[in-house]
């Protein structure tokens, strides 16, 4: 059941706008590794330096997500995403002018990173409030927008780099990504508030209740296990996003074909997102997320034995399903255990905690490669981390979801 206003069902408009935000921002996030070789060729920076920008961006995203989640609870999605659009465009334009690592770090991490932080914590929290019974399914549809961006944007960026150079490609990112988010933001709004809750005193009371609910939830063992899982999984995901293209090019694959690995992950992840969304509504988000983590663990075991482009694409297929399902399941998991009253605050905090490790993933992987000359030890470490995430989800089973806290 979803909310309706005088214009009929507005929930579908919210879903469509959230889909577009996800496509624009996640497609841009996934494209960073396509610039990897171009930056290395142009400046001779090490892989640790280049991937360090992605690590810092991840940390900024997590910190900003915690703040933006609370602001979204209070102000609604439109002003948050409008500001994010401006930051993304400004950041990418400045990236087209870089000549030193610190300029890359400032423009990508401090500007683009804050803009990126809005893509999940604002859209998925908004959707969670608009929908109740079909929350998982609709979350899956929204996250399919992310898969669409993953499919379309990396190959387009690879083409732009080949045709016009990496600086012009960054300008195109500024001209397209930010405006798309700004347009979508104008159609996003929080669900209507009942008439008896519209006065200022009621609004202030809801804000206090939201903060109290969030703080209470953060002290529970269930919330700690969710955060533990995010710590490990985001480390793995960010490592793959940044390093799978250079790993493929090391195998002798062209940049365009290597970018196709990212597109394959994105295309297949659409299946994982939609499937997970439907499954969540039937068996719950925890079991769904446990299944995704287990499948991702199997994918990283496969990666240990991947020596050819064909096997690399096979990994992309298996990993893509788990990748998509994971991103779809976390927001419904928060709603399943703690309700939606403080969903933005709690979801933003989970994102922040996850990105602490996610910030380390790409730079640790780059440093290990620079030291050892191979990604194999990195992939083995990812296997161990995924095993810990699986354990965290099994421990979460002993805690009872508190659905009654939904607002």
Please report the pLDDT score of residue 33 as a whole number. 79
- Evaluate whether residue 375 is within a structural domain: yes
What does the alpha-carbon distance between residue 70 and residue 348 come to, in Å, rounded to a whole number? 8
- Evaluate whether residue 406 is within a structural domain: no
Q: pLDDT band at residue 103, thresholds of 50, 70 and 90?
A: very high
**Residue 43, token pair as written in the block:** 């400046």
Q: DSSP assignment, residue 374?
A: -
Lowest mean pLDDT among 15-24, 85-94, 165-174, 215-224: 215-224
**Residue 179, token pair as written in the block:** 């405006």
More confident residue, 288 or 199: 288
Tell me the average pLDDT of the chain. Answer: 82
Tens of pLDDT, residue by residue over 224-243, are 899 999 889 988 888 887 78
Strand, coil or helix: 150:
helix
Tens of pLDDT, residue by residue over 367-395, are 888 888 878 888 888 899 999 999 999 98
**Contact present, 321 and 277 (Cβ < 8 Å):** no
Strand partners, 233: none
Q: DSSP assignment, residue 5?
A: B
Q: DSSP assignment, residue 134?
A: T
Q: pLDDT band at residue 8, thresholds of 50, 70 and 90?
A: very low
Q: Whose CA is closest to 159, among 146, 172, 175, 178?
A: 172
Q: DSSP assignment, residue 193?
A: P
Q: DSSP assignment, residue 165?
A: -
Helices (H), 339-375: 343-372
Q: pLDDT band at residue 198, thresholds of 50, 70 and 90?
A: very low
- Evaluate whether residue 200 is within a structural domain: no
Residue 203 pLDDT exceeds 70: no
What does the alpha-carbon distance between residue 207 and residue 287 come to, in Å, rounded to a whole number? 32
Looking at the chain, the whole-number percentage of residues with pLDDT higher than 90 is 27
Q: pLDDT band at residue 74, thresholds of 50, 70 and 90?
A: confident
Q: Cα–chain-centroid distance for residue 50?
A: 20
Strand, coil or helix: 331:
helix
More confident residue, 308 or 202: 308
**How many structural domains does the chain have?**
1
**Residue 246, token pair as written in the block:** 């250079």
- Evaluate whether residue 5 is within a structural domain: no
Mean pLDDT of 118-143: 83
Buried/exposed code over 55-72 (b: 16+ C-beta within 10 A; e: otherwise): bbbbbbbbbbbbbbbbbb
Q: Whose CA is closest to 325, among 359, 299, 353?
A: 299
Q: pLDDT band at residue 291, thresholds of 50, 70 and 90?
A: very high
Q: DSSP assignment, residue 33?
A: G
Q: What is the CATH number of the domain that holds 260?
A: 1.20.1250.20
**Residue 269, token pair as written in the block:** 């992840």
Residue that the structure tokens 């922040």 belong to? 352
Strand, coil or helix: 44:
coil
| Domain interval for residue 257 | 11-190+206-401
Q: Whose CA is closest to 352, among 179, 251, 227, 245?
A: 227
- Evaluate whether residue 3 is within a structural domain: no
pTM exceeds 0.75 for this model: no
More confident residue, 92 or 337: 92
Q: What angle do CA 19, 23, 28 make, to 5 degrees?
A: 155
Please report the pLDDT score of residue 56 as a whole number. 84
């Amino acid at each position: 059941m979803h909310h309706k206003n005088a214009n009929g069902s507005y929930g579908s408009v919210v879903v469509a706008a959230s889909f577009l935000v996800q496509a624009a921002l996640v497609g841009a996030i996934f494209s960073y590794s396509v610039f990897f070789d171009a930056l290395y060729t142009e400046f001779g920076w090490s892989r640790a330096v280049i991937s360090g920008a992605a690590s810092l961006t991840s940390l900024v995203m997590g910190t900003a997500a915690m703040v933006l989640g609370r602001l979204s609870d209070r102000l609604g999605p439109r002003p948050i995403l409008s500001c994010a659009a401006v930051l993304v465009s400004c950041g990418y334009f400045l990236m087209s002018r870089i000549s030193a690592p610190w300029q890359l770090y400032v423009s990508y991490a401090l500007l683009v990173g804050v803009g990126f932080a809005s893509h999940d914590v604002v859209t998925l929290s908004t959707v969670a409030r608009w929908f109740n019974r079909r929350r998982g399914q609709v979350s899956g549809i929204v996250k399919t927008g992310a898969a669409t961006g993953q499919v379309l944007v990396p190959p387009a960026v690879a083409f732009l780099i080949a045709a016009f150079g990496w600086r012009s490609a960054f300008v195109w990112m500024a001209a397209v990504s930010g405006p798309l988010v700004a347009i979508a933001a104008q159609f996003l709004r929080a669900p209507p508030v009942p008439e008896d809750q519209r006065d200022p005193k009621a609004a202030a009371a809801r804000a206090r209740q939201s903060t109290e609910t969030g703080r209470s939830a953060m002290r529970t063992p269930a919330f700690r296990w969710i955060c533990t899982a995010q710590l490990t999984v985001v480390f793995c995901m960010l490592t793959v996003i940044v390093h799978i293209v250079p790993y493929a090019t090391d195998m002798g694959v062209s940049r365009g074909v290597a970018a196709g690995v990212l597109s394959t992950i994105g295309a297949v992840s659409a299946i994982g997102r939609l499937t997970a969304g439907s499954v969540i509504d039937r068996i719950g988000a925890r079991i769904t997320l446990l299944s995704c983590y287990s499948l991702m663990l199997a994918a990283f075991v496969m990666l240990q034995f991947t020596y050819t482009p064909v096997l690399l694409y096979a990994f992309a297929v298996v990993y893509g399903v788990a990748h998509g399902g994971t991103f779809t399941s976390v927001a419904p998991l928060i709603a399943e255990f703690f309700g939606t009253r403080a969903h933005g605050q709690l979801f933003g905090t989970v994102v922040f905690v996850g990105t602490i490790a996610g910030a380390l993933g790409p730079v640790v992987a780059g440093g290990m490669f620079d030291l050892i000359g191979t990604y194999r030890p990195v992939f083995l470490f990812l296997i161990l981390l995924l095993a810990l995430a699986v354990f965290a989800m099994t421990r979460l089973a002993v805690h009872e979801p508190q659905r009654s806290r939904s607002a």
